[in-house]
A and B are shown apart, each in its own frame.
Chain A
Amino acid sequence: QQPVQSPQAVILREGEDAVINCSSSKALYSVHWYRQKHGEAPVFLMILLKGGEQKGHEKISASFNEKKQQSSLYLTASQLSYSGTYFCGTHLGTSYGKLTFGQGTILTVHP
């Protein structure tokens, strides 16, 4: 079952903040966040595990609510370079390395 991301698209001015959400109907072992710029490959941002462990870039923050099976990615003081499509990928902990990605959230940052 594919996780659901919200919102589908966000438009910001530089310096503004945004939150992207990812919800799953299944119990998750970990949530992975990736960013994909137009015409490029997805690039890893962060992993959040149940139990609170996180691994990722220092400038990115995110949360994982195990009770609700929801994760949120927080983008603060946005920069032009933040523009792209953000994907959450969920891992159920039942198969090797299998990520199921959400439909993506398009973030556009204007000067």
Chain B
Amino acid sequence: DTAVSQTPKYLVTQMGNDKSIKCEQNLGHDTMYWYKQDSKKFLKIMFSYNNKELIINETVPNRFSPKSPDKAHLNLHINSLELGDSAVYFCASSPFWGTQDYNEQFFGPGTRLTVL
């Protein structure tokens, strides 16, 4: 029944390692997002894909690479992890909404990444 799911829920790793977070939605939405929430709870969009096409690409280090194999999945791969990457990463999905449009976003449970 889970609408937006993420794996893993917790990820603890050493600096310099490469890791991936996976996201899947069963809502039939066209658009998926990655957000980063830092220790101060600031929630910031990183990327968005619509039907496998990248439509939002914020100023994020190129160590972060999203991949969308199909419209129900959006993965986030992070190379050469740094201490500052420690955060909670949320995946979200919504029906597609254009510039003069709006829609509700459904968030996954989050992945807490800790870089040691």
Contacts and interface: CB of A to CB of B under 8 A. Distances in A.
Contacts of B106: 44
Interface residues of A, number: 26
Given A87-B43, A103-B41, A104-B41, A93 B107 contact: no
Contact of A44 (B4, B41, B48, B105): B105
Interface string B46-72: 001010000110000000000000000
Interface residues of B, number: 29
A96 B48 contact: yes
A78 interface: no
Given A41-B109, A98-B56, A93 B42 contact: no
Given A42-B43, A101-B42, A91 B102 contact: yes
Contact of B48 (A30, A42, A55, A97): A97
Contacts of B25: none
A98 B45 contact: yes
B90 interface: yes
26 contacts: A32-B104, A36-B41, A40-B110, A41-B109, A41-B110, A42-B107, A43-B107, A44-B104, A47-B102, A49-B102, A55-B104, A93-B99, A93-B100, A96-B31, A96-B48, A96-B56, A96-B96, A96-B97, A96-B99, A97-B48, A97-B94, A98-B48, A98-B56, A100-B45, A103-B42, A104-B43
